[in-house]
Amino acid sequence: MSGNGSRQKELSIDAIEQMLDSEIETRLQFIRRLENSPIEKVISSGEVLGPLNLIDHDGHHQFLETKGYYSRFRKGDNVQIRISGDSNSSEHLFDTTVHDLTYPSEGKLCISIGNSRKEKLDSHTEYFIYPTENEFLHNKLKDCILSCDRSLYRNRISPQLDSKKVPSKFLDRLNSSQIEAFNFLSSSETDAAVQGPPGTGKTQLLLALVAQALACNLSVGIAAFTHAAVDNALSRIANLDVKHTFCRVGRSEMIKRELYPQNWLHGRTAKSFGSIKGYRPQLFASTTHSWALSPAAPKVDLLIIDEAGQVPVYFMPVLLSTGYKIFCLGDHKQLPPVLQGDHSGTVEHTDIFSQFLSKHSPMLEIQYRMNSQIQAWPSTQFYGGRLQPHLSNQNRDVLSTFNGPKNYLGRRPLQLITHKKYGNSSTNLAEASLVAELVDRLFKVTEYLPANQIGIISPKRMHNGAINQALQSKFGVVVASQIHVDTVERFQGQEREVILFSFGSDRRAPAEDEISFIGDAQRLNVAITRARSRFYCFATEELASLREASIEDKQDALPGFFASFAKKNRPKQNK
């Protein structure tokens, strides 16, 4: 192994099997609790959507409508359709997939599902949408893992990259830390990882690596946990392919076609690896599930896993059998994979990226997203002060051209807005109104802030519904639907010009989930680093006064809550 290389940490198949078994069992228990609980209770928790009524259907879809402002379900989610049963519990009808979710009018939410013969609904029955257990998927993945060669750690032949073959135009686009990372990966004789904090240009590094591999006539695979992450990566390197040698593998409805150059995907997509016909791609891009579960998935010379911190470590044996060499790009200071169980006693790391990370792994240090004042806090707290803004964005502020009074908007990009308004255990309607009021003021003071460049984050699903309600009431459904409102988990990988964060505190503040959020450094890091030029946080005065003593885990606690930073510290501009 090269002195710059990083060999993945040993991970036994037995530990992975135990982890998957625990995931399956924990997920099943959660689903069973939902199914056996009173319907009203699970609806109020935000885990279940309903009651819904069939309002229309066509040859492909059935359209269900309900009163509401927020749904945890998204396009592509596997769900189960249920009806009311005995004792206010529910009865299973069938499993299906969400095709789309829209807000047709104020206070109404429409979900479309499949329209096969076994999925016929009627307009006289009330339906409920529940999450599914995914037991079949996990068991299939488990079978794939157990069938992997247990000698994979020892018997992989790693292809070499020729640094002289990469076109200079790709290297010329890289900054100093990106060049260091590129050289580290190119010279590595085995699998390796590079840490890419938010906005640091992982895509430019990915572009150079793919260009080099293609120039060396190597086959390349791009993998990520979500379809969105796959398309974010592939669309940025689309201009490398002029001969239809790339293939985006995945269900057509899950591909984000708007990210690609017009007509670029024509002739470059396949529903599955087994359905690729007429040509032999040199580069394949798909989700880790597709790579792991498809018998037709090819073995590639170089497999690049983007956003590798989101990929559960139990994918590792299958991915090792897929790529002769693996490069991981990610950031273990952001959110880990969403898992059901506690695996601290089973595996050392729960994500792929941490498994490949070594003391030699470089970090990309120049970020192109946040202005200097927003990035100073995460840089100090999570990245050892090494994260620095590029000159092009260090003074970025969407309100810079507004010369009038910035009452309520504040002059500093990082703002804490405290209040004494409280709600119930799941929503705070008064705080939601404050959020909508701030959005209104933003619209009034700038002509250059489209609605889709505002993002609103809350830890509570039901409070997100209250925010959507306030936005629809103030701006109408069309504008409100362009403002993305969601949990921090759903925001990872995204960015907006302005981010508003709303805790939705109740009278019992500080509530346990709020303390938990403040003590979860990774979640707060993701929330703040979504913003390019403005970050506003809404919190009750009690919540804002929290200090480390209120949080049990001092290692992860944010010193004095980030409020103390937002109120008292004004970082100096980089020279």
What pLDDT, on a 0 to 100 scale, did the predictor assign at position 542?
A: 76
Helices 512-519, 521-528: inter-axial angle, 10-degree rounding: 80
Tens digit of each residue's pLDDT (9 = 90 or more) over 75-133: 989 999 999 977 677 899 999 999 999 999 999 999 999 887 778 899 999 999 999 98
Evaluate if residue 7 carries a pLDDT over 90. Answer: no
Per DSSP, the three-state class of 248 is strand
Give yes or no for a contact between 89 and 36, defined as CB atoms under 8 angstroms apart: yes
Q: What is the pLDDT of residues 501-512, one digit of tens each?
A: 998 876 654 555
Which domains does the chain carry?
A: 39-133 (2.40.30.270), 138-366 (3.40.50.300), 372-566 (3.40.50.300)
Would you say residue 552 has pLDDT above 80? no
What b/e sequence results for 286-320 when a residue is b if at least 16 CB atoms lie within 10 Å of its CB, and e otherwise? bbbbbbbbbeebbebbbbbbbbbbbbbbbbbbbbb
Q: Give the mean pLDDT of 54-69.
A: 94
- On the question of pLDDT at 455 being above 90, the answer is yes
Best CA proximity match to 489, nearest among 460, 515, 531? 460
Closest to 328 in 3D by CA, of 352, 293, 346, 345: 352
User: In this predicted structure, what is the pLDDT of residue 223?
Assistant: 98
Distance CA 224, CA 304 (A): 9
Q: Is the pLDDT of residue 370 over 80?
A: yes
Distance of CA 12 to CAs 16, 23, 401, 574, Å? Answer: 7, 17, 57, 46
Q: Is 118 helix (H, G, I), strand (E, B) or coil?
A: helix
- Is 327 in a helix, a strand, or coil? strand
pLDDT of 148 > 80? The answer is: no
What integer pLDDT is reported at residue 507 of this predicted model? 60
**CA–CA gap between residue 359 and residue 303 (Å, rounded):** 22
Give kind and range of the element (H or E) at residue 356. Answer: helix 352-356
Write a three-state SS string for 123-137: CCCCEEEEECCCHHH
Gap between the terminal Cα atoms of the chain = 40
Counts for the chain of helices (H) and strands (E), in that order = 19, 21
Contacts (Cβ under 8 Å, ≥6 apart) of 41: none
- Higher pLDDT: 86 or 371? It is 371
**What is the band of 169 on the pLDDT scale with cuts at 50, 70, 90?**
confident
Residue 255 neighbours by CB under 8 Å, 6+ apart? 227, 231, 248, 265, 269
| Residue 510 contacts residue 546 (beta carbons within 8 Å) | yes
Q: Work out the angle between the directed axes of helices 461-475 and 429-445 (0-180°, nearest 10).
A: 50
- Name the residue among 139, 118, 111, 130 with its Cα closest to residue 46: 130
Asked which of 131-140, 435-444, 458-467, 514-523 is least confident by mean pLDDT, the reply is 514-523
Model confidence at 36: pLDDT above 70: yes
**Helix axis angle, 372-382 relative to 521-528, nearest 10°?**
160
Relative to beta strand 388-389, strand 366-367 is: parallel
In this prediction, residue 566 carries a pLDDT of 43
The SS3 of residue 101 is strand
Task: Indicate the average pLDDT of the chain.
Answer: 86
User: Higher-confidence residue: 227 or 545?
Assistant: 227
Residue 61 is predicted with a pLDDT of 92
Amino acid at 440: D
- Closest to 382 (Cα-Cα) out of 558, 513, 193: 558
Count of CB atoms within 10 A of residue 113's CB?
Answer: 24
pLDDT bracket for residue 573 (50, 70, 90): very low
In degrees and rounded to multiples of 5, residue 14 shows phi and psi of -60, -40
* Res 115: pLDDT: 80
Can you say whether the dihedral through the CA atoms of 319, 325, 331, 333 is positive or negative? positive
Q: What percent of the chain has pLDDT over 70?
A: 87
Under the banding of pLDDT at 50, 70 and 90, the label for residue 437 is very high
Rounded CA Rg of the chain: 24
Using CA atoms, how far apart are residues 202 and 367, in angstroms rounded to an integer?
A: 10
Rounded to an integer, the average pLDDT of 249-275 is 93
Q: The whole model's pTM is what?
A: 0.89
Q: What is the pLDDT of residue 406?
A: 61
